[in-house]
């Protein structure tokens, strides 16, 4: 063989470089061959597994194959020519035989692969592309050397043919084949282009460009999104994970548990006496130890299931990461060579150029590999989330009630939102767990080579910073928790304020509540300030760390040994290595903390997935041919396995087609019986069988957030005729006329825009439409009005109803229907006490007769005339619930939920129609009118956020911070970056000393100045952060919130009716939070990266002015990419967050309705719905990830170009530049990619977050109501002395542009008169009272109270002198004392006196905390009647001359009502009282009665006269049985 000439002159120091011939013949051609032979076995295996169908032979494919064969022929021609020469006795070295043979074989392999790929449906091959690339690169050197001299004609020609062919192959492999036959993608118009993208396109994410362009032209919409790739969709991911989980569970069960073995061991001979001798405590203890061991073994591990399901895919990403880590360290070595090159005066230029291009090449490779790794990680994360959500959803449909009780809806929804999210976030960092230590070890190794042991000093500094950072992180976390707590308190209070805003206004209590909120806000800001101090410290540590490390290392290095000289090579290579080190050192603590968080989440998810499931076999559903449709034999049931039985020894037989009524006192187990029949309870013994399908109407109607029609159809096909009959039977037809969209009306969460009665009827209609065999009706008649109940019983349930002939089990309280049922089952304390027909039971005179006597018939007579306030519009929970933080979002949704429950509970449980819906509050707008402004409103809220953010918004924020301060802060950032440039220039000067050998005398001066510059940089950062975060931005946060709060509390009542409270709350939580903590972070990072980038460009341009020419096109390209990215990604983020909340709301809805879903057997359909919602969300999440990759590759390309040009220009100007400056400019350039990347990200984040300022400002400028206090018109303190009220020609309307509600009303009321106000629904009764308080301002006319025109005085002056007892008792969370007297004007004695008069004294004094009794949100812990009495106590405390009583209709039982009436008669004897009456008997003894009709006075006289007149009032009295 040829010997390598050990002559570096041949290669490095000539101007015409060349490599030794032997190297050219062996290593270069073999490299691609070795690669292909190593890769192909794995590749072929992979192709065998992933077959996508074959591709038709195309021209492209034929050309590739022919070229492959030609290449083989070319190589073997070489081989044969060598044989030929041998036969001519010209001995050739063996390499001439080996190389052509190997290369020829490889070309055959490549040709085989080309065909094999075609058969397996690969459109563009990465393996071959890399092979051709390596081949071409390796052939360049021989190409160059062969030009110089032709020794061997044949080989010369063959080589050039070979080179030409490989080049053509490389070019051809960039093109794509057609997609395989029968691939669904071809048919699908919206398929993701990634599936058919070529190898290069996948590596550079070129396939995403079409979406970026689309997003730039117009804001993206849902229809523009691509479908999810099949392998990312729930239908593949979830079953895959669940299968692994099942395997895991069965493994855990099959392992013999420790406990069994243990018990086994104990029970040896003489086990009995042994038992006796052991004391019971020890026995228990022992048992417990065993149990704990037992649990360890039995717990199936969800982690293993996850690893098996998603591990393999993730490992590909890890492999990329490993490659990337190794390549990272090539650049510092190249930098060393480059500096070395600039030192040598006679080195040839080509060497410098090749170094520059090598640097560019490695950077480029690193970029591509890194982003592939990220792509794999993110996709794994995405699949993880889909899988976990799917698993949790499916589990939630099957768990037992016991398990359900152990975790609240909110917790389970959190599993889905927060915990799944944590896993998703973890996957992106997970590789850092091994990659960070690897990077650290490598970096230290190279540093040690460079600087020797002095490196340890620098490393020591880094290591010392870790606990410092960790400590700060811990403190920050505790502060965050504290801040979240304050924030929750503030939102909770805000939520109550919004829900009770009407009451606050009526009582003039706004100021006291404003103070409360501001107190909480102050606490919150204090915590934020502490956090800001910490973050300033950590920012300082984080930015000064690299500098401190460099300083200590260099100082130690120079001082340890006289001979150590710091030259450019050592300094700048070390700097670039330290920069590499910085990232893993900072990431490690983060990764570890997020792993800890994820492990907590893992445990929670695993516990949830290990809950017991309901036994589907507990109810026998087989159609056995007995005449009983439902039978329970000796059934004993409990809600949880270890509870005592709720139902004991039940025997029930229900004949086919009969109607069974179940009656009994509250809590005797009627509902439990129904649940047992549905299989929802734990069956302890006995058997149940039900023949045929079941329909179920629960006691609390469960309504989906869908249209009314979908709620009734519940997944069954729509049949017009049948559907109409069902609506008719359930008395829903009149309601449809009132609902804005008929049966297409969207119903809000939990049926929030239907009254209780309507919900119950929809639930009944669903059962009726399902045409089942057995109907289980759990008290469906309680929520509706008496005559509606009768209608439903007659038309649906009763012997003549639509269900006759079906088996019906009806739980009921309505006694009037019992005579008409076939059988009655009486339950007492969970047992069947008697059963039989109505007649039989009456004869027996047992529990049933007793029951009848208790429920006297008076509660059947109910009157159906009352109003209800229409709860917040249906959309309130959805429009603004769009949120990036599921946790906060969830908390808020909990609120909305409780609120909706609250507003519903206050409605009358026994009432019907929806005619009220247009009444009172939303006066006579027609339904269509009502809908229009709402729709407009929603759309406005949305459009506010598309497109670019106006400069004005930034200016608003700057104004809040303070314009001069803002400029000063920018200036400080500039100074800080100047200091860092200074330090680095100084370093390059210092390293240049080495060349002039004047080092030692200046060491201390050099070190000193370097230190001073660096420390001043740190100090500037600290000062800046403190000024910026702890002072100015907090000031801005404080002011924006204050203005908004003030404006909201001053807004007129109409504003709250037109704006869903969810939307206002969202401004107070999400947007205020953004202004508090997110925007300052964004601005800080943005400023830092901006100045860093500017630094790099300044340094490079200052050293080599040519650089400016390059910068312009690069910056243009940068700006262009950034605009595309920001537009697209902002919209994708919004689409993602819009599509996220439906997942959670659908889930929480499902959890509340599991029993209904199971009863109708709709599990699968709901699982599908959930999967669709998740996929819909991932559909916008996936392009979001890819957009980041797309951006990253492009931006880093710009960074790599900057590196290339910095290096090239350094090579060109090497005579003018000192090695120190070359090192400076190139090492700066190597860092620029990171900062460019960050800057785009931060710009887009800042753009999407700064919108919060705009939204908060929008609410700070809402129109306000009249001033609270008008100083020059203040009435005297004892006003009103008599309480005379006069309406003079008074008219009023609800809002501009609507009709008048009251028309020209004129009346005089003397002080001390008692006036009853009556009238049909919508006659304007409530409006009259609202006018007295000026919640509605007059359209015309005056109201005069004791000679003072109320329109002229301040609102608080007016409202504090009147008292109202509202229809819906509203309590705020806080003490009872606070609810009675928020301003603490009264003494304790007065408060107790008021409580005594309002009959609450006994209740309150029995409580341990007395007056400090905590009322929870909305006063949930008091009964409705008690709440009403609290409102009475408020009125008694204020004791003003004029009292308005809006009589509560539904909430209060007759008893409480009488209490209130009698108290009012005695305590308010000398006051003027206005009562809006529903029960006429309360006002029969009033002085006068005012009858309103259509907003005008119809009759006004004493009750006796009115009855004598036989007018409207007479008719009403007659209906009520009073006349």
Quickly list H helices, 1153-1162.
Answer: 1154-1159
Crossing angle between the packed helical segments 330-343 and 1219-1260, to the nearest 10 degrees: 130
Of 642-656, 805-819, 903-917, the range with the lowest mean pLDDT is 903-917
At a CB cut-off of 8 Å and minimum separation 6, what does 513 contact?
A: 493, 497, 504, 1049, 1372, 1382
Mean pLDDT of the chain: 80
Task: Summarize the chain as % helix, strand, coil (round to 5).
Answer: 65, 10, 25
Average pLDDT, integer, range 870-888? 37
The number of beta carbons lying within 10 Å of the beta carbon of residue 174 is: 13
319-346 tens-digit pLDDT: 999 999 999 899 889 988 888 888 887 7
Sign of CA dihedral 749, 753, 755, 760: negative
> So what's the pLDDT on residue 1165?
92
Closest CA to 807 of 797, 816, 819: 797
CA distance 1176 to 222: 9
Q: Which residue has the higher pLDDT, 270 or 791?
A: 791
What's the pLDDT band for 943 if we cut at 50, 70, 90?
A: very low
Closest CA to 1362 of 1440, 1445, 1468: 1440
pLDDT higher than 60, residue 873: no
Q: Please, are residues 578 and 457 in contact by the beta-carbon 8 Å criterion?
A: no
CA distance 1253 to 1244: 15
CA distances from 553 to 558, 917, 1159 (A): 9, 78, 73
The three-state DSSP-derived secondary structure of 1456-1500 is HHHHHHHHHHHHCCCCEEEEECCCHHHCCCCCEEEEEECCEEEEE
What's the pLDDT band for 1277 if we cut at 50, 70, 90?
A: confident
1024-1074 tens-digit pLDDT: 888 888 888 888 899 889 999 999 888 888 788 777 777 788 888 888 888
Read off the tokens for 469: 């950072």
Pairing relationship of beta strands 694-697 and 774-778 according to DSSP bridges:
parallel
At a CB cut-off of 8 Å and minimum separation 6, what does 1521 contact?
A: 861
Closest CA to 412 of 886, 55, 59: 886
> So what's the pLDDT on residue 696?
93
Closest CA to 1339 of 1265, 1268, 1289, 1284: 1289
What's the pLDDT band for 751 if we cut at 50, 70, 90?
A: low
CA distance 1182 to 385: 12
1278-1304 tens-digit pLDDT: 888 888 888 888 888 877 777 788 888
Closest CA to 678 of 655, 664, 651, 698: 698
Q: Write the DSSP assignment of 1066-1120 as a string of letters.
A: HIIIIIHHIIIIIHHHHHHHHHHHHHHHHHHHHHHHHH-TTHHHHHHHHHHHHHH
CA angle 27, 33, 34 (to 5 degrees): 80
The number of beta carbons lying within 10 Å of the beta carbon of residue 1220 is: 27
Side by side, the strands of the sheet bearing 1300-1309 are: 1300-1309, 1285-1293, 1338-1345, 1348-1349
Residue whose entry in the numeric block shows the structure tokens 């025109």: 1349
DSSP E strand boundaries for 509-585:
none
pLDDT higher than 60, residue 1141: yes
Q: Please, are residues 367 and 1200 in contact by the beta-carbon 8 Å criterion?
A: yes
Read off the tokens for 621: 């559903």
> So what's the pLDDT on residue 17?
60
pTM: 0.75
The number of beta carbons lying within 10 Å of the beta carbon of residue 1020 is: 20
Q: Please, are residues 1179 and 228 in contact by the beta-carbon 8 Å criterion?
A: yes
pLDDT higher than 50, residue 868: no
CA distance 1192 to 1187: 8
CA distances from 767 to 146, 657, 722, 820, 1046 (A): 89, 16, 13, 21, 50
> So what's the pLDDT on residue 504?
86
**DSSP-based three-state secondary structure for 1006:** helix
Of 384-398, 477-491, 928-942, 980-994, the range with the lowest mean pLDDT is 928-942
What's the pLDDT band for 298 if we cut at 50, 70, 90?
A: low
384-432 tens-digit pLDDT: 999 999 999 999 888 887 777 777 777 788 888 888 888 888 888 888 8
The separation between CA 294 and the C-alpha centre of its own chain, rounded to angstroms, equals 38
At a CB cut-off of 8 Å and minimum separation 6, what does 1285 contact?
A: 1308, 1309, 1332, 1343, 1344, 1345, 1442, 1472
**DSSP-based three-state secondary structure for 642:** coil
CA distance 1018 to 1026: 12
Side by side, the strands of the sheet bearing 774-778 are: 694-697, 774-778, 807-811, 659-664, 823-828, 831-836
1350-1391 tens-digit pLDDT: 888 888 888 888 888 887 778 887 888 888 888 788 888 888
Residue whose entry in the numeric block shows the structure tokens 């063989």: 1
The separation between CA 927 and the C-alpha centre of its own chain, rounded to angstroms, equals 34
The separation between CA 625 and the C-alpha centre of its own chain, rounded to angstroms, equals 52
CA distance 1358 to 508: 9
**DSSP-based three-state secondary structure for 618:** coil
981-1017 tens-digit pLDDT: 888 888 888 888 766 666 566 778 888 888 898 889 8
Q: Please, are residues 390 and 241 in contact by the beta-carbon 8 Å criterion?
A: yes
Average pLDDT, integer, range 261-283? 43
Number of helical H runs and strand E runs in the chain: 57, 22
pLDDT higher than 60, residue 263: no
CA distance 1024 to 1032: 10
725-739 tens-digit pLDDT: 998 888 888 888 777
CA angle 392, 398, 404 (to 5 degrees): 80
The separation between CA 20 and the C-alpha centre of its own chain, rounded to angstroms, equals 63
CA distance 160 to 166: 10
Sign of CA dihedral 576, 578, 584, 586: negative
**Partner residues linked to 696 by β-bridges:** 776
**DSSP-based three-state secondary structure for 318:** helix
> So what's the pLDDT on residue 418?
82
1323 phi/psi in degrees, rounded to 5: -85, -10
Residue whose entry in the numeric block shows the structure tokens 């119950």: 760
Read off the tokens for 27: 């290593």
CA distance 876 to 1059: 8
Average pLDDT, integer, range 1513-1519? 80
Q: Write the DSSP assignment of 1041-1057 as a string of letters.
A: HHHHHHHHHHS-HHHHH
Q: Which residue has the higher pLDDT, 1386 or 1451?
A: 1386
> So what's the pLDDT on residue 54?
79
User: How does 570-605 read in b/e, with b if 16+ C-beta sit within 10 Å?
Assistant: bbbbbbbbbbbbbebbbbbbebeebbebbeebbebb
1223-1250 tens-digit pLDDT: 888 888 887 877 888 888 888 788 878 8
pLDDT higher than 70, residue 130: yes
**DSSP-based three-state secondary structure for 107:** helix
At a CB cut-off of 8 Å and minimum separation 6, what does 872 contact?
A: 752, 899, 900, 903, 1060, 1061, 1062
Q: Could you give the percent of the chain with pLDDT greater than 70?
A: 86
> So what's the pLDDT on residue 946?
53
Residue whose entry in the numeric block shows the structure tokens 């590909």: 316
């Amino acid at each position: 063989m040829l010997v390598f000439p050990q002559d570096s002159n041949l290669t490095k120091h000539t101007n015409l470089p060349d490599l030794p011939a032997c190297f050219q013949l062996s290593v270069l051609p073999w490299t691609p061959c070795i690669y292909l032979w190593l890769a192909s076995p794995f590749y072929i295996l992979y192709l065998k597994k992933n077959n996508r169908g074959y591709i038709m032979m195309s021209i492209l494919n034929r050309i590739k194959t022919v070229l492959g064969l030609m290449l083989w022929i070319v190589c073997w021609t070489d081989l044969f020519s060598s044989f030929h020469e041998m036969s001519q006795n010209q001995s050739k070295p063996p390499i001439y035989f080996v190389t052509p043979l190997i290369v020829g074989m490889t070309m055959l392999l490549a040709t085989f692969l080309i065909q094999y790929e075609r058969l397996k449906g690969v459109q563009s091959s990465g393996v071959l592309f890399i092979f051709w690339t390596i081949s071409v690169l390796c052939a360049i050197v021989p190409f160059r050397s062969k030009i110089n001299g032709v020794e061997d004609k044949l080989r010369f020609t063959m080589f050039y043919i070979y080179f030409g062919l490989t080049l053509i192959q490389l070019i051809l492999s960039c093109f794509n084949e057609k997609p395989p036959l029968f691939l669904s993608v071809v048919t699908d118009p919206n398929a993701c282009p990634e599936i058919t993208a070529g190898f290069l396109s996948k590596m550079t994410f070129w396939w995403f460009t079409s979406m970026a362009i689309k997003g730039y032209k117009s804001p993206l919409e849902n229809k523009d999104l691509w479908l999810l790739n099949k392998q990312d969709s729930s239908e593949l991911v979830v079953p895959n994970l669940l299968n692994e989980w099942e395997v895991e569970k069965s493994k855990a069960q099959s392992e013999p548990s420790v406990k069994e073995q243990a018990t086994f061991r104990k029970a040896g001979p003489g086990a009995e006496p042994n038992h006796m001798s052991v004391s019971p405590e020890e026995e228990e203890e022992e048992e417990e130890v065993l149990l704990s061991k037992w649990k360890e073994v039995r717990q199936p591990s969800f982690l293993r299931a996850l690893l098996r399901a998603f591990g393999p895919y993730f490992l590909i990403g890890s492999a990329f990461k490993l490659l990337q880590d190794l390549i990272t360290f090539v650049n510092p070595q190249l930098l060393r060579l480059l500096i070395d090159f600039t030192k040598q005066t006679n080195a040839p230029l080509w060497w410098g150029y090749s170094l520059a291009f090598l640097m560019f090449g490695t950077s480029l490779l690193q970029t591509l590999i890194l982003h592939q790794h990220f792509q794999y990680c993110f996709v794994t994360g995405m699949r993880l989330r889909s899988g976990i959500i799917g698993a949790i959803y499916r589990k939630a449909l099957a768990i037992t009630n016991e398990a359900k009780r152990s975790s609240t809806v909110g917790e389970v929804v959190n599993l889905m939102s927060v915990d799944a999210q944590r896993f998703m976030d973890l996957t992106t960092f997970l590789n850092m767990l091994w990659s960070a230590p690897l990077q650290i070890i490598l970096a230290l190794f190279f540093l040690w080579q460079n600087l020797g042991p002095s490196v340890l000093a620098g490393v020591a500094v880094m290591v010392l910073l870790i606990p410092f950072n960790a400590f700060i992180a811990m403190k920050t976390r505790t502060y965050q928790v504290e801040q979240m707590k304050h924030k929750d308190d503030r939102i909770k209070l805000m939520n109550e304020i919004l829900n009770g805003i009407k009451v606050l206004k009526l009582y003039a209590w706004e100021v006291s509540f404003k103070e409360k909120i501001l107190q909480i806000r102050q606490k919150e800001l204090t915590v934020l300030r502490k956090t800001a101090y910490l973050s300033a410290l950590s920012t300082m540590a984080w930015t000064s760390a690299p500098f401190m490390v460099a300083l200590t290392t260099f100082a130690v290095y120079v001082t340890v040994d006289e001979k150590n000289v710091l030259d450019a090579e050592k300094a700048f290579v070390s700097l670039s290595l330290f920069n590499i080190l910085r990232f893993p050192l900072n990431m490690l603590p983060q990764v570890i903390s997020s792993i800890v968080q994820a492990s907590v989440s893992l445990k929670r998810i695993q516990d949830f997935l290990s809950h017991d499931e309901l036994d589907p076999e507990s109810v026998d559903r087989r159609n056995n041919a007995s005449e009983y449709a439902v039978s329970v034999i000796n059934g004993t049931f409990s809600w949880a396995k270890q509870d005592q039985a709720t139902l004991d020894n039940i025997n029930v037989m229900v004949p086919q087609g009969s109607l069974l009524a179940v009656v009994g006192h509250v809590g005797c187990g009627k509902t439990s019986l129904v649940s047992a029949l549905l299989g929802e309870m734990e069956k302890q013994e006995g058997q149940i069988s039900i023949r045929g399908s079941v329909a179920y109407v629960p006691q609390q109607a469960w309504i989906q957030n869908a249209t009314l029609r979908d709620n009734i159809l519940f997944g069954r096909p729509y049949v017009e005729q049948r559907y109409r009959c069902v609506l008719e039977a359930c008395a829903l037809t009149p309601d449809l006329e009132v609902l804005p969209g008929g049966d297409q009306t969207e119903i809000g969460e939990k049926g929030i825009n239907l009254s209780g009665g309507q919900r119950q009827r929809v639930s009944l209609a669903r059962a009726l439409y399902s045409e089942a065999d057995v109907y289980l009706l759990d008290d469906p008649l309680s929520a509706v009005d008496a005559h509606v109940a009768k209608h439903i019983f007659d038309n649906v349930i009763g012997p003549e109803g639509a269900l006759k002939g079906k088996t019906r089990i009806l739980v009921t309280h309505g006694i009037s229907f019992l005579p008409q049922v076939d059988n009655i089952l009486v339950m007492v304390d969970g047992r069947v006490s008697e059963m039989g027909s109505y007649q039989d039971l009456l004869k027996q005179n047992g529990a049933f007769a007793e029951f009848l006597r208790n429920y006297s018939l008076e509660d059947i007579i109910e009157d159906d005339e009352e109003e209800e306030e229409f709860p917040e519009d249906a959309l309130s929970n959805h429009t603004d619930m769009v949120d990036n933080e599921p946790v906060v979002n969830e908390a808020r949704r909990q609120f909305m939920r409780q609120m909706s429950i609250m507003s519903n509970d206050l409605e009358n449980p026994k009432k019907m129609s929806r005619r009220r819906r247009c009444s009172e509050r939303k006066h006579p707008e027609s339904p269509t009118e009502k809908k229009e402004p709402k729709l407009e409103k929603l759309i406005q809220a949305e459009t506010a956020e598309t497109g670019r953010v106006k400069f004005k918004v930034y200016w608003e924020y700057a104004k809040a911070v303070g314009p001069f301060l803002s400029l000063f802060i920018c200036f400080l950032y500039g100074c800080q970056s100047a200091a860092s440039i200074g330090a680095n220039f100084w370093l390059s000067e210092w390293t240049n000393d080495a060349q002039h050998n004047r080092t030692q005398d200046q060491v201390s001066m050099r070190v000193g100045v370097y230190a001073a510059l660096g420390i001043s940089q740190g100090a500037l950062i600290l000062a800046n952060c403190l000024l910026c975060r702890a002072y100015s931005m907090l000031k801005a946060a404080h002011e924006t919130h204050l203005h908004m709060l003030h404006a909201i509390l001053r807004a007129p009542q109409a504003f709250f009716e037109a704006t869903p409270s969810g939307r206002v709350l969202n401004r107070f939580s999400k947007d205020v939070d953004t202004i508090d903590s997110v925007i300052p972070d964004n601005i800080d990072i943005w400023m830092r990266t901006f100045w860093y980038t500017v630094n790099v460009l300044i340094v490079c341009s200052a050293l080599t002015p040519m650089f400016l020419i390059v910068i312009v096109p690069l910056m243009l390209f940068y700006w262009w990419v950034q605009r595309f990215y920001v537009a697209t990604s902002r919209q994708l983020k919004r689409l993602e967050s819009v599509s996220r909340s439906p997942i959670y709301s659908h889930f929480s809805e499902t959890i509340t309705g599991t029993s209904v879903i199971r009863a109708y057997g709709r599990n699968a359909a709901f699982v599908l719905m959930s999967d669709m919602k998740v996929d819909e969300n991932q559909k916008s999440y996936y392009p979001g990830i890819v957009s980041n990759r797309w951006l990253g590759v492009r931006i880093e390309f710009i960074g790599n170009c900057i590196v290339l040009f910095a290096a090239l220009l350094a090579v060109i100007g090497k005579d003018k530049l000192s090695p120190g400056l070359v090192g400076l400019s190139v090492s700066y350039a190597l860092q620029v990619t990171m900062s460019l990347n960050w800057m785009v990200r931060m710009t887009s984040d800042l753009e999407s977050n700064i919108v919060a300022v705009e939204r908060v400002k929008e609410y700070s400028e809402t129109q306000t109501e009249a001033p609270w206090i008008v100083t020059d018109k203040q009435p005297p303190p004892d006003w009103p002395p008599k309480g005379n009220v006069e309406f003079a020609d008074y008219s009023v309307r609800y809002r501009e542009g609507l009709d008048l509600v009251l028309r020209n009303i004129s009346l005089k009321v003397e002080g001390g008169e008692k006036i009853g106000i009556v009238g049909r629904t919508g006659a304007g009764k409530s409006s009259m009272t609202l006018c007295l308080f000026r919640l509605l301002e007059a359209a015309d006319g005056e109201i005069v109270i004791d000679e003072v025109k109320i329109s002229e005085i301040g609102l608080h002056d007016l409202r504090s002198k009147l008292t109202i007892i509202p229809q819906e008792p509203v309590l705020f969370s806080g003490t009872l004392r606070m609810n009675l007297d928020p301003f603490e004007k009264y003494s304790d004695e007065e408060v107790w006196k008021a409580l005594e008069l309002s009959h609450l004294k006994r209740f309150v004094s029995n409580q341990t905390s007395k007056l400090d009794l905590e009322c929870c949100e909305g006063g949930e812990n008091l009964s409705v009647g008690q709440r009403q009495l609290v409102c009475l106590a408020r009125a008694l405390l204020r004791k003003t001359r004029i009292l308005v009583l809006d009589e509560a209709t539904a909430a209060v039982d007759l008893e409480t009502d009488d209490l209130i009436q009698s108290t009012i008669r005695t305590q308010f004897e000398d006051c003027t009282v206005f009562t809006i009456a529903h029960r006429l008997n309360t006002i029969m003894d009033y002085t006068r009665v005012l009858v309103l009709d259509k907003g005008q006075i119809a009759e006004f006289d004493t009750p006796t006269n009115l009855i004598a007149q036989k007018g409207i009032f007479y008719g009403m009295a007659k209906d009520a049985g009073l006349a």
